[in-house]
A and B are shown apart, each in its own frame.
Chain A
Amino acid sequence: MPQLTCENLTVGYDGKKVREDVSFAVERGDYLCIVGENGSGKTTLMKTILGLQSPISGKILMGEGLKPTEIGYLPQQTEVQKDFPASVREIVRSGCQSRCGLRPFYTRTEKQMAQEAMCKMRIDDLAGRCYRELSGGQQQRVLLARALCATQKMLLLDEPVSGLDPAATAEMYRLIEQLNREDGITILMISHDVGAAVKAASHVLHIGETTFFGTKAQYLHHIAQEGGDNTHV
């Protein structure tokens, strides 16, 4: 059984449909890239998968013992976070909250886990630094480390490289690929930058006028047939 299956999913908010009839399945260890124009409902789809809003119709099925709360999430930066006084360590550890339940403190294991996540994201030397003083790329890595504390199974990334310079973008893609290859974490990533994103992906979900889902090879074939697309792959 696939780790995550969406069947004829219609998503939207306040009863307004944003995207209808989306179906796809993600196997463990897949790297799915979700592409599509602005306003095509990528973020809404992701929020629906995360359980932040309920689907208008259709089904979301989880397999292989994946629980809805075990999906790590890298949201787009919010206004609040830009000048939030918090150290990197505090933020990464807060990813462990989901497993804390009502326990008020972090256990040694959880602190250890946060430390490992920071090492993996190469931000362990920034642990005591203030989040708002970091560069965009560093901030994204902090949030990714936090997401790693929340899950070891599946990560949903919403535009992880938006606003980053080319070097930071490349580093980010490299880290995500590494998580996928070495740690076997399933990746679902929303991206504008179709070319760069599709390079590492194993599967592509294109939502827009028509919804396409398939492996990277199928997708490349698909857009080659469509012909008119100006994406550089």
Chain B
Amino acid sequence: MYEIVQKLGQYWQYPFVRYALIAGVLIALCSSLLGVILVLKRFSYIGDGLSHIAFGAMAVAAVMNLTNNMPLVLLVTILCAVLLLRGGQNAKIKGDAALAMISVGSLAIGYLIMNLFSTSANISGDVCSTLFGSTSILTLSAYDVWACVILSIIVVVAFIVLYHKIFAVTFDETFAKATGMKVEAYNLFLAVLTAVIIVLAMNLVGSLLISALVIFPAVSAMRVFRSFKAVMLCAAVISVICAVLGILTSILAGTPVGSTIVVVNIVMLIVFAVLGKVSEGARA
């Protein structure tokens, strides 16, 4: 035990370890808040689709040799999120088919573009680290961390200010609309928020594993808690704890960061599922 603490103390000297923890905690916090809404709205899969789109955008940015790919990736992802989440209600193409097509399509095109035009020497490495987020959270620059901090603050503040409205719209869109709430505006806002968080979260776990970050904490929290507020808070806490544990485990044991975080989340879900059963039994 002492050795582990000592080792962590040694690693703490490295700025990229501190960056990783700061960014990891913030991204986990934001993605879990959003995750509760997406799971309840039956949009669990949107994270996956959007992250593939972000991957495609990243490929384009890499080929164009942009020094800072964040704005382009963010813009493309936001646009697609707006289209997908709006189309989800009454589009001609069924929502899930549209999502699947766009997500697989952009993944394929992104990979193709990278292969054909990339100037980088190691394409498979680039692709692999973008998809699985092997160590990208540990290679953040101060700029990345700042972008992450600012975006996270915006997301959290927006959630706090709009908390009751988000609840009303998520619980019953028809009623909210009938009583004069601007439901479309909230859905738009939610779409933009989703895109921002997905782009941030790609750094942490890579684009294939983002869904886990969005869904697991929300589902875990719902096993045990029975009010919206408690579920939100619990999901946020679970997500942050899992992210910290995952990052620390991976730097101590030398495992890939993204998948370690996801595995910690899975373990947490099992624990909460058992807790939920126990508390249900106690109730009955």
B-chain residues with CB within 8 Å of residue A132 when the two chains form the complex: 226
Taking the nearest CB of chain A, how far is it from the CB of B228, in angstroms? Answer: 4
Q: A90-B229, A97-B165, A105-B164 known; A84 and B179 CB under 8 Å?
A: no
Q: Hey, what's the 0/1 contact readout for B26-69 against A, CB within 8 Å counting as 1?
A: 00000000000000111000000000000000000000000000
Choose among A80, A106, A150 the residue that contacts B40 (Cβ–Cβ < 8 A): A80
> B175 to A146, Cβ gap below 8 A?
yes
Q: Which residues of chain B are within 8 angstroms of A129 by Cβ–Cβ distance?
A: 226
- Which residues 58-103 in A have Cβ within 8 Å of B in the complex? 67-69, 71-73, 75, 78-81, 83-87, 90-91, 93-95, 97-98, 100
Q: Which of A87, A93, A128, A129 gathers the greatest number of chain B CB atoms within 10 Å?
A: A87
Of the candidate stretches B11-19, B155-163, B196-204, the one touching chain A is B155-163
Q: Are A98 and B180 in contact (CB under 8 A)?
A: yes
A52 at the interface (CB under 8 A from B): yes
List, in ascending order, chain B residues with CB within 8 A of A81's CB.
Answer: 171-172
CB–CB A84/B171 < 8 A? yes
Task: State A37–B205 Cα separation when bound (angstroms).
Answer: 54
Indicate if B176 sits at the interface (CB-CB under 8 A). Answer: yes
**Cβ contact of B168, chosen from A75, A97, A128, cutoff 8 A:** A97
Q: Is A50 an interface residue (CB 8 A)?
A: yes
Q: Give A104 Cβ to nearest chain B Cβ, in Å.
A: 5
Cβ–Cβ < 8 Å partners of A193 in chain B: none
The proximity string for B residues 142-171 relative to A, scoring 1 for CB distances below 8 Å and 0 otherwise, is 000000000000000000111111011011
CB <8 Å contact, B229 and A97: no
A133 in the interface (beta carbon within 8 A):
yes
A100 proximity list for chain B (CB < 8 A):
164-165
The 8 Å CB contact of B227, one of A67, A73, A130, is: A130
Q: Assess A75 versus B172: contact at CB under 8 Å? Given A95-B179, A98-B180.
A: yes
Complex partner residue of A87 from B180, B181, B226, CB under 8 angstroms = B226
Indicate if A2 sits at the interface (CB-CB under 8 A).
no
A151, chain B: closest CB distance, angstroms: 8
A106→B164 contact, CB < 8 A: yes
**From B171, B177, B230, contact of A94 by CB (8 A):** B171
What residues of chain A have their CB less than 8 Å away from a CB belonging to chain B? Answer: 50-52, 67-69, 71-73, 75, 78-81, 83-87, 90-91, 93-95, 97-98, 100, 104-106, 128-130, 132-133, 146-147, 150-151
The 4 closest A-B pairs by CB, nearest first: A69-B180, A130-B226, A98-B179, A87-B227
Interchain residue pairs with CB less than 8 A apart (11): A69-B178, A69-B179, A73-B179, A85-B227, A85-B228, A87-B227, A94-B171, A104-B164, A105-B164, A106-B164, A129-B226
